[in-house]
Chain A
Amino acid sequence: MKKTMIAMLLAGGQGSRLYALTQSVAKPSVPFGGKYRIIDFPLSNCENSGIDTVGVLTQYRPLQLNSYIGSGQPWDLDVNDGGVFILPPYQSAGEKGSWFTGTANAICQNLAFIEEYDPDHVVILSGDHIYKMDYADMLRDHVEHNAACTISVLTVTLEEATRFGMMNLGEGGYIKEFEEKPKHPKSTLASMGIYIFDWKKLRKYLLQDDADPNSKHDFGHNIIPAMIADGEKIWPYRFKGYWRDVGTIDSLWDANMDMLTPQLIDLYDPEWPISARSPICPPHQVGSHAEILHSIVTEGCEIDGIVDNSVLSPSVHIGVGANIKYSVLMPGVVVEAGASVEYAIIGENTIIRAGAKVGGSPAPGEGKKITTIGPDLEIPAGSTVKVGAMISSSEEV
């Protein structure tokens, strides 16, 4: 059946800068903010924006992501006409199959999927952003300005601008230039990597791009510059609110800490719930030696130590006298008695044995250094993991 707009969610990235955390899972399925995985944010935004057809493009280590998304039921995407679809690269008869070679190529390889729904518009989303956004409002803006493409933009400072794809505006407020990480930024409007395209136009540019052997097959580098060059109308949708790219260890830690400041992003808003698939565990237990200060704690946790300014996913166990400060503990992490974890991210099911010391607080006047421990590891009793280390296998401990 025809749809006004469907979503294509790019979830194939390896997330190489999160190395220890993404060795066996794709970046979108990295746990986040206690109850969630990163992909819950764009999926919930789709649910809340009334989008009922979502293609999730996977490539790198998709097993966990596939089982996590499943039928899409947690996001009400288990509908009869539409729903959530995992779209991996595939082979066709008589052709050599290939991996997705770029963001645009990933969409191009799935033209048949999109055409099945014959949408007027397609929204392209990224699986590694933390934000709440009404794509329906963005679509209204897109339609109102009769745009071929609308890019969601955020106002940043000139210093920050050197890290983003920047939009320079021309006549009528339309985008006339797209600069990737400019050394001398000319504007403060940064692309958030969220695009709505007129489907017929996008289809044309995708096919054109696909035929170009010199193209990187990337939206930011190729498709949008080509549209600008042809004089297509590209409209900036100005987003106000919280948005973070969590592609690095520092930004992942920062965004987790942001969840402790409800003024930045309100996860308790019943009008815009973020949904997740999570195991049903008993409520978390606060023991008689526990001290919990300014933290997020999730079901299944058992806490008998100090938890200060930290984010705890489900079923984390903290022993007596253990000290957790400014840290992110993913599902199933165990910190035994007397151990300390400071300014760290600890991967799923890792065990920190009694008395071990992981990371540390920054010295006065110095910047923080986040210590990262990958999933399923064991840090021996009494050992020390030095500040800023990234541990991804037991040999490194």
Chain B
Amino acid sequence: MKDFHGLIFAYYTDARLRELVSMRTAASLPFCGRYRVIDFSLSAMRNAGIVDVGVIMQRDYQSLLDHLGGGKAWDMARRTGGLRMLPPFGLPEYHRGNYAGTMEALIAVSSYIKDVKAKYFVLMLGDMCANIDLTVPMEQHRKSGSAITAICTDRADAEGFRMTYLTDDNGKARQILVDAVNEKEGFLSLEAYIINKETLLELMETSRKQSLHRFHKDTLDSWLKEGGKMDIYVHHGYTALIRSVDSYYKANMDMLNNDIRHELFPAERPVFTKAREEVSTYYGVGSYSRNSLVADNCIIDGSIENCIVFSGARIRPGAKLKNCIVMNDCIVEVGCSLDHCIIDKDCSFSPNTVLNGNERLPLIVPKGSNI
């Protein structure tokens, strides 16, 4: 698949993720017990044979870099090509503030894009959970002769996406609607695109000249109006955009549903991630566990119910956790009671600590807290 080159947008972090992103980007948020959100886009590309991938990042990317490493987990550690980290380079103005939009992010790495030999680019978000079989839209795009193929969803439960494409009689996109939540027609965009290289460069040039940086509202909308040819491909599987504490909590809890989890982790398209320690999880004599997901390398002596537990957790006897997300390497001592908490990495709770969040407002325990 050397004809295709991947680009993942990992620069954007929604402020509504609050403390969860104080030291990381949304793309590197831990998810479903052992993954990071960006694993989905990386794995989708890898499973479609795309191993030349650039990850566009701007700030707070230490945890992202640590996770990606050399790209080995996704078979992207190659002598030529492979995974490339794309922090801002060249122009000093891009090191300050935030990218004003996708177009500015692309322009900031334009020298990289220009050097790519591939004919097509696959653009995906780094903060989206979806297991998309890219081989189908890639083949469709190659055959159609259209300059862009937009990957959309028909799922009513896909929250957080804002762009809707209306189509003409031939199924080509003709117009973009923003926040058309009540619109019956049209296809909700997953903001994933397959785009010809020359079209991408053209859009970047227009955007640069006009100083208009928004991908959809400015660039794509006017490109469509000028007669640009865009196909629609519909992905039917589960999709979640991680842009707020609520959507993060809900998407994690959705994984407790077997049907949804199997949609996101089908055997034929595995989701790859950085490997951790190799040891199974141990359930002690007095442990209790119901309706939970538990990663390896945990020792559970207490009780867990409706929880997502990442590796390295130590849940001591008599500790009770309900409706919690417990990230890596947390220690919950005897007699603690935690409900509706999102517990970030490396936290420890001394005996008999009680913390209750609410379904509408899960309590965030920041990374490294000692309570």
- Minimum distance in angstroms from B36 CB to a CB of chain A: 12
Count CB-based A-B contacts (< 8 Å): 109
A34 on interface, CB distance cutoff 8 Å? yes
Please classify the interface of chain B as helix (H, G, I), strand (E, B), loop, or mixed, using the class held by over half of its residues.
loop
Pairwise interchain contact A283-B275, C-beta atoms closer than 8 A: no
Contacts of B292-312 to chain A: CB distance below 8 A: 292-297, 299, 304, 308-310
Specify the chain B residue showing the minimal Cβ separation from A309.
B285
Q: How far is the CA of A287 from the CA of B137 in the complex (A)?
A: 36
9-residue interface stretch from A17-25, A92-100, A214-222, A296-304: A296-304
Q: How far is the CA of A292 from the CA of B296 in the complex (A)?
A: 15
Complex interface: chain B residues within 8 A of A66 (CB): none
Contacts of A265-288 to chain B: CB distance below 8 A: 267-268, 270, 273-276, 278-288
Q: How far is the CA of A260 from the CA of B270 in the complex (A)?
A: 30
Specify the chain A residue showing the minimal Cβ separation from B292.
A286
Specify the chain B residue showing the minimal Cβ separation from A266.
B279
- Minimum distance in angstroms from A293 CB to a CB of chain B: 7
Q: How far is the CA of A40 from the CA of B279 in the complex (A)?
A: 11
Most A Cβ at <10 Å: residue of B258, B271, B277, B283: B283
Specify the chain B residue showing the minimal Cβ separation from A279.
B270
Specify the chain B residue showing the minimal Cβ separation from A267.
B279
Which residue of B271, B277, B304, B310 contacts A280 across the interface (Cβ within 8 Å)?
B271
Q: How far is the CA of A294 from the CA of B294 in the complex (A)?
A: 15
Q: How far is the CA of A292 from the CA of B280 in the complex (A)?
A: 14
Pairwise interchain contact B272-A293, C-beta atoms closer than 8 A: no
Pairwise interchain contact A290-B289, C-beta atoms closer than 8 A: yes
Assign chain B's interface to a size class.
35 or more
Q: How far is the CA of A251 from the CA of B3 in the complex (A)?
A: 55
The number of residues on chain A lying at the interface, defined by a beta carbon within 8 Å of a beta carbon of chain B, is: 38
Pairwise interchain contact B280-A296, C-beta atoms closer than 8 A: yes
Most A Cβ at <10 Å: residue of B34, B281, B284: B281
A74 on interface, CB distance cutoff 8 Å? yes
- Minimum distance in angstroms from A381 CB to a CB of chain B: 22
A155 on interface, CB distance cutoff 8 Å? no
Contact with B along A115-137 (1 / 0, CB 8 A): 00000000000000000000000
Residues of B within 8 A of A (CB): 32-35, 73, 255-256, 258, 261, 265, 270-273, 275, 277-285, 287, 289-297, 299, 304, 308-310
Offer 19 A-B interface pairs, CB within 8 angstroms, sorted by A.
A267-B280, A268-B279, A278-B278, A280-B34, A280-B73, A283-B294, A283-B296, A285-B258, A286-B289, A286-B290, A287-B258, A290-B289, A293-B283, A293-B285, A294-B285, A295-B282, A295-B283, A296-B283, A297-B294
The 6 closest A-B pairs by CB, nearest first: A34-B280, A283-B33, A283-B295, A276-B278, A298-B280, A283-B293
